[in-house]
Amino acid sequence: MKRRDFLKASLGGGAALLGAGNAEARGNLEPAEEAIGMLYDSTLCIGCKACVSKCKEVNGMPPTPLGDETAWDSAYDLSAQTLNVIKVYSDGEGELKDAVENGYAFEKRSCMHCVDPGCVSVCPVTAMRRHPKTGIVTHHPDACIGCRTCMVGCPYNVPQFDYDNPFGEIHKCQMCNQAGVERIDKGQMTGCAEACPTGATLFGSRKALLEEAKRRMTLKPGEIYNYPRGDVRNPDSHHEKAVPEYRQHVWGEKEAGGTNVLHISSIPFDKLGMPPLQERSYASISETVQHTLYSYMALPAIALAGLTYVVRRNTEDEEGDDS
């Protein structure tokens, strides 16, 4: 076998492989056709936890008291029994609301319902699913095998496994639209948005919520604004409040491909515990790497196939010459 033929066959197989690997690369998914979500405005939150209580009522979950000291829900973080929780940022004496120094602020934790969800991408049995029209990300226990890969694939640490249940199960916010609840399909809003007295959690289409978030950032600090409550489309329910100094950043507009749950605040999001994320989604990165890796694993086989063809051709040529 000639060296030139060997190199030609090997490089030819490698080129074909690289072309196939590049074809597998993908960008972020786009928001769903009729994406719905929520807008959380940290400056409006008063820490009453009405959203936490309503969420547990809707989902039939018990409160999480702090020992015998409290009669109300004192959940510190997300868990199999808590799908929505209010956390607190505090600095110094914590005297000033929405101030970075010597201040405090509230932050809500629940499923962000990512536009390009990592939990859906890594689930091996499609137990995690993104609705093609609404963009709601739901978990389906009938399909789940309990591998908990979704917990690793979520940058927000949202899916929680019920370790106290001998059969186990993943729990997360389903945006009040899972089997047995289905508030959205019935034309209702999410329970947390319905219960919020100040409109800190607002329900609606992702497009309308993004517009509302950006509108607030154009308002003059100190002027009075009628903040809509419940549903962003509801013209009758408002909470009147002076406009704060907003950070010019809508969390979820672009982070990791974007989310259907958007957040705005006067406090930097890293201080509120949000993870450092780039604009490209984890799902698009991991799927591209996986597809490329699997393709490169096939490189020896492709090269061998090319070499086998050359050897066979040369052998047939030699047999023809002998005859």
Model confidence band, residue 135 (pLDDT cutoffs 50, 70, 90): very high
Does the pLDDT of residue 161 top 60, yes or no?
yes
Tokens in use for 30? 């786009």
In this prediction, residue 217 carries a pLDDT of 97
Backbone angles phi, psi at 186, to 5 degrees: -95, 10
pLDDT digits (tens, 9 = 90+) for 211-220: 999 999 999 9
Alpha-carbon distances of 183 from 12, 72, 136, 186, rounded to whole Å: 57, 25, 13, 5
pLDDT score recorded for residue 312 = 64
Nearest 10 degrees: Cα torsion 264, 269, 271, 274: 120
- Which range is least confidently modeled, 23-27, 149-153, 313-317? 313-317
Is 102 within 8 Å of 94 (Cβ atoms)? yes
| Residue 144 amino acid letter | C
Mean pLDDT of 179-191: 91
Weakest mean pLDDT among 4-8, 102-106, 141-145? 4-8
Whether the per-residue pLDDT at 162 is higher than 70: the answer is yes
Query: Across residues 95-110, what is the average pLDDT?
Result: 97
Residue 102 region by backbone torsions, left for phi larger than 0, else alpha for psi between -120 and 50, else beta? left
pLDDT for 286 equals 80
Mapped onto helix, strand or coil, the DSSP state of residue 67 is coil
Taking only the tens place, the pLDDT of each residue in 228-277 is 999 999 878 899 999 999 999 999 999 999 999 999 999 999 999 999 99
User: Which position has the token pair 């640490």?
Assistant: 157
HSE toward the beta carbon, residue 246, CA cutoff 13 A = 23
Average pLDDT over residues 289-302: 53
**Coil, helix or strand for 103?**
strand
Q: What is the pTM of this model?
A: 0.82
Residue 161: CB atoms within 10 A of its CB come to 16
